[in-house]
Amino acid sequence: MSWLASAWAIFRKDLRVELRNRYAVNTLLLFALGALLLVSFAVGPQPVSARVRAALLWIVLLFAASIGLGRSFVAEHEGGTALLLRLHTRASSVFIGKLFFNFGLVALLTLAATAVFMLLLGVPVGSPALFVAT
């Protein structure tokens, strides 16, 4: 099996496992929602500059993403499949497959958290097309 095919197989496996139990998605979204609510209560009704709002959102996203990243590797060790993966494919294929899976999770988290953040803090969007593009 080629390097790219192995990475793709790891990605598909992680996606199937996540669609089956939804552990990582629920954990990430729950953490992000809780953190965003705390940020909303901390900021209160006072106006906050755009830079501060952006920094608060990125801090929440960074911490939520760091929670999800470790989980993908821990699941392999808990299930006893880490050794089997190392026997059948290169470590770089495992890493790349899990990297792309976690990138997809963080992209989903970013979409959901940004929408909730905008609703809670009343963030105005000057140009919707530019906002969606970035």
Cα angle 7, 28, 5; round to 5 = 5
What are the structural domain ranges in the chain? 3-133
Question: When comparing pLDDT for 34 and 70, which is higher?
Answer: 34
Mean pLDDT of the 59-84 span: 81
DSSP label at residue 22:
-
> What pLDDT digit, counting tens, does each position of 82-100 carry?
778 878 888 889 889 989 9
Question: CA 129, 114, 16, 93 torsion: positive or negative?
Answer: positive
- HSE at residue 13, side-chain half, CA atoms within 13 A, is 18
In this predicted structure, what is the pLDDT of residue 104?
Answer: 92
Q: How many helices (H) and strands (E) does the chain have?
A: 6, 0
Residue 51 has pLDDT above 80, yes or no: yes
Q: What is the percent of the chain with per-residue pLDDT over 90, rounded to a whole number?
A: 14
